[in-house]
A and B are shown apart, each in its own frame.
Chain A
Amino acid sequence: MSHSTPMIEMRQVSKHFGNVIALKEVSLHVHAGEVMCLLGDNGAGKSTLIKTLSGVHRPTRGEIRVAGQPVRFKSPAYALDSGIATVFQDLAMIPLMSITRNFFMGREPTTGAGPFKRVDWKRADRIAMAEMAKIGIDVRDPSQPVGTLSGGERQCVAIARAVYFGAKVLILDEPTSALGVKQASVVLRYIAKARQDGLAVIFITHNVHHAYPVADAFTLLKRGSSLGYFRKSEISREEVLDMMAGGAELESLDAELAEFQHSAASPAA
């Protein structure tokens, strides 16, 4: 597996904003059919990293390769054209617009010619409904505003859209962070399915419990540099947690809370 060409690869990528070093010589690679989890605390450089991968920022130094070819993205549109689809944390969904209009935003299917060229909304509705059904979300009315969907469903529309439009690399920025347990599992299940379909997935999160079940590999970021790349077989859930900044702190917090709960519960009983 490690001998084949990675679908996407970063080699010693640095990104400076003025004299602030946001990323320092970060390397990572993801193969097709693999989920790589990018873990890190707030301010670790996760957002800068994905914005660099998706063409929003250009790296100061280093190289990005897609399927072995070095690339330089001038804008997010170029990244999209190379098959890198990013589902941003603040979503690329517009709540007041319908599911179909969101799904095909910027890439509307047309029919007819000349002045009578128009968007084929019937076909668009059908495709949107079918794609949503594939991931197990039953859309009753594709003309309903996206704002009426739950958070998990919205994430799934965004991911389904990326997959439908031929993404080879899927970058998901905190797709589960704002979701409840049930909604998060909908998204996680879909991530697993995307892997099965042969996509290379980069899954950004700070929630190890969401990351561990679906990941094949982990990259840990801390203060702009990589703490290393680990296959899932090399590292346990607890070790991942510990390596993240909050690991030890969370443990002590756990103990503290347990004590607090204990003392609060006894007088009531």
Chain B
Amino acid sequence: MTATTAAPTESEDERLAKQATWKRIMRRPELGAMAGALLVLAFFLVAASGTGMFSPAGIMNFMEVSAQLGILATAAALLMIGGEFDLSIGSMIGLAGIIIAVPVVEYGWPLWSALLLAFACAMLVGWCNGYLVNRTGLPSFIVTLAFLFILRGLAIGGCRLLTGRTQIGGLQPHIAHDWLAPLFSGEVATGVFAWMAAHGWIATNFAGNPVVTGIPVSIVWWLGLTALATWVLLFTPYGNWIFAAGGDANAARNSGVPVRRVKISLFMFTALSATVFASLQVMDTGSADTIRGMLKELEAIIAVVIGGALLTGGYGSAVGAALGALIFGMVQMGIFYTGVNTDWFKVFLGAMLLIAVLFNNFVRKKMMEAR
């Protein structure tokens, strides 16, 4: 009896420490998305082996799909953590594309001025969304749903009024030499890839050029925005205010957090991210179309939720959203590579969303259990 009473105190302490570490890991929002990403990766490593999905070109392929969604998801994640949605980002993509393309092609504006105009309009749209949500107290679901239609209508109506069409092509010659163009088009680190090809590390084509010539600039945007958002959330006062505004706006206000300003700036950020998306797409394809970006708002929300954010706000992470976008890209391209009819992609996506939400609820309950 006396021998056993002395020993447990030490082993008990040890067990407590272990549990604390475990709890700390469990508390990270991106845990589920990390597990999900690994699972999806493992699945396609087996199912799509030998198809070229994991060749350098294949990897760039699904990374680019992930990157485009990831740019939207990062901003959507911050907004969702801040307690709101933005359903208007898909329409903002279409509108921003038109605002960039029409002045350049129809009126001969220099590209940079059209880009500036698009970003200015995005900030205005974001501000309107945020102001109306704050002012009216309506759910952001309703306010931004209204803007989903308003912006789409503005894009189609405005484009047809000015040009008589709803699609604008032929941007390529206008954007080739603009000083702002490299920000949204082309690839980076091309030298590194040429060097790797010269050393035989990556495959080359018949002309001796590497099959992958560089990292698409969209991936750089994605990683950059994710890093920035993570820094903001974890290490700035503003990041703390985002969590607070989403966790309980009243409590935050009582503690002196400028909740209105935080929310308006987050709505502006989602509109800006949609414009970045549109800029990348317009430069990449050399055209704009009024119906671009449809359903992107929902895809972004899916990525964010798979990434571990709570729909009710106050909890989530940018890294999680990035992982959510990565899962999205891997599944979308992976289904194509495995030869399964791509019609099934959406079934898979919906199922993933359900599983993610159930898992998130489970994690939150665990978190709130007594120590």
Identify the A interface with B (CB < 8 A). Answer: 76-77, 80, 86, 88, 90-97, 101, 104-108, 110, 117-119, 121, 140-141, 143-145, 147-148, 150
Contacts and interface: CB of A to CB of B under 8 A. Distances in A.
Given A88-B254, A148-B370, A97 B243 contact: yes
Given A97-B314, A140-B20, 11 more contacts: A90-B250, A94-B243, A94-B244, A101-B244, A105-B257, A106-B244, A106-B255, A117-B236, A119-B240, A141-B24, A148-B368
Nearest to B24: A143
B85 interface: no
B256 interface: yes
Nearest to A112: B235
A95 B368 contact: yes
Interface of B: 16, 20, 23-24, 27, 231, 235-237, 239-241, 243-244, 247-248, 250-257, 310, 314-315, 364, 367-371
A136 B162 CA distance: 71
B367 A148 contact: yes
7 contacts: A76-B254, A92-B252, A96-B247, A144-B27, A147-B368, A148-B369, A148-B371
Q: For chain B, what secondary structure do more than half of its interface residues adopt (helix, strand, loop), or is it mixed? A: helix
A105 B367 contact: no
Given A104-B240, A145-B368, A148-B371, A94 B257 contact: no
B46 to A, nearest CB: 37
A141 B25 CA distance: 13
Contacts of A121: 235
B23, B24, B237, B370: residue with the most chain A Cβ atoms closer than 10 Å: B237
- Chain A binding site: helix, strand, loop or mixed by DSSP? loop
Contacts of B256: 76-77, 80, 105-107
B362 to A, nearest CB: 15
The 3 closest A-B pairs by CB, nearest first: A94-B247, A106-B256, A108-B237
A1 B368 CA distance: 47
Contact of B247 (A95, A107, A141, A148): A95
Contacts of A90: 250-251
B238 to A, nearest CB: 9
Nearest to B241: A106
Given A94-B252, A105-B240, A118-B236, A144 B23 contact: yes
B257 A106 contact: yes
Given A92-B255, A94-B247, A94-B248, A108 B314 contact: no
Contacts of B248: 94
A140 B370 CA distance: 13
B27 A105 contact: no
Chain A CB count within 10 A is highest, among B231, B236, B240, B244, for B240
Contacts of B315: 96
A150 B369 CA distance: 11
Nearest to B252: A105
Nearest to A145: B367
A121 B233 CA distance: 12
A94 B240 contact: no
Contact of A118 (B235, B252, B253, B370): B235
Contact of A101 (B236, B243, B364, B371): B243
